[in-house]
Amino acid sequence: MEKDMADNQSKTRAALARLCTEMTPQRFVLDSGLTVLVSEMPQFKGVHAVFGTRFGSADKSFSLDGQTVELPEGVAHFLEHKLFEDENGNDAFELFSATGASANAFTSFDKTCFLFSATDEIEKNLRILLDFVLHPYFSEKTVQKEQGIIAQEIRMYQDSPEFRMTFGLLGNLYHVCPVRSDIAGTVESIQKITPEMLYRCCEAFYAPDNMVLSVAGNVTARQVLEVCNGVKIAPSGHRLQRQKLQEPDTVFAKEKILKMQVSQPVWGIGYKGPGALGGEVKNELICDFITELLAGETSPLYNRLYDENLINAGFGGEYLSGPGYCSLIFGGETPDPKALQAAFEAEVQRLLKNGVDEEQFLCTKNQMLGQAIMGLESIEDVATDQAAVFLRGHSLYDEVEQLSALTARDVEAMLPTLLDREKCATILIMPTDNDGE
């Protein structure tokens, strides 16, 4: 059995190495400092493009040309919204729609990305993307209008138990690290945002040498470069220095109990790893591996909990990793929070004591390698993943190579650090009583 699994793993690794060689993007660095990644995939009809910058909600303090700037919560997300409107009131979404393209954008803790998918008028859509992001316009009137829109979005998320669980756990784990706060900020914090603040952030973080354009699909590098050369992209004349807060090693709070209008309790648990681990390829792969071992749909624990009706299909885990932070969080709905917590913590202690079962390790690794192969055959995944890993300072090839070389001993060596009971916190969301209390 193990020999068959090892043979399958070897074949999977060989196929993945072959695909990685074929799918390595063409890379160009323009005079402005902008990096352009192009994956020519002519077998597809469409094109997917991602324009990203290293600026996320965790960037709350920085120095630009020697001047320190402190930001309220939610600026990166607010800026993402405002960059889709120009001085003449044109909406980028409408321009994309007129060409038949679909567009979107998102902000995370460490990056902001703007994207579109299209099958026609690729050059025109690329120009729209570059023009709106690189040529911002803000006024008091448009900022005030957006403050009202985003305030509604913030209130909407407060009604989501999954959202409250995630940020409740992060609030328990971290003292000062900005990941403890909602990416969109608070209703109060976004009222402090001004046009001048947004322009300052553009100067600092929307500089070409801090950004990447990643394009994949039925397009050539020549087409992409011709568009880039036709758009005014000025090099940055500013000096940016990011400032990091000193996060204590301890957790802020061990537990939190909330009440919401939910049909049954929601339970979650989080583990705080050392901030120095964040952003490193191998560490991220190990974090991903541990979440699969404990909460993946093929894991023994997940299936046992599911069979015992302690969880439903919504139960899962994820890791959050970046410069200065690294954590694992798990959770979902359950009819019996105490029984779920006991079973989960017992499995963690079993892992710490006995290590990783070799058969389960091979199954999980092959699953992750298979997912990586599938991702290389999707223009959306290729463009998005190429941009994401570039903004973190590495490449998809680095991730695949290190995943292929990962061993059970590598994972076991990190278990005591990433699943430390002393750096663990829980959250419980209980149904609101009938009387509203």
- Give the integer Cα–Cα distance in Å for 279 and 55: 15
Chain length of the chain? 437
d(CA 75, CA 64): 16
Handedness of CA 38, 39, 45, 47 (dihedral sign): negative
DSSP 222-254: HHHHHHHHHS--PPP---EEE------SS-S-S
Non-local CB neighbours of 277 within 8 Å, separated by 6+ positions = 283, 321, 326, 417, 418
CA dist., res. 162 & res. 314, Å (int): 10
- Please say whether the beta carbons of 185 and 78 come within 8 A: yes
Active site residue 80: yes
- Give the Cα separation of 174 and 249 in Å (integer): 9
Tell me the one-letter amino acid at 343. Answer: A
53: helix, strand or coil: strand
The answer to whether 252 touches 172, Cβ cutoff 8 Å, is: yes
> Residues 40, 73, 80, 347: which is the catalytic one?
80
DSSP annotation of 208 reads G
Strands 316-322 and 325-333 come out as antiparallel
| Helices 75-82 & 140-157 angle (0-180, nearest 10) | 120
Alpha carbon distance, N-terminus to C-terminus of the chain: 56
* Residues annotated catalytic, as ranges: 80
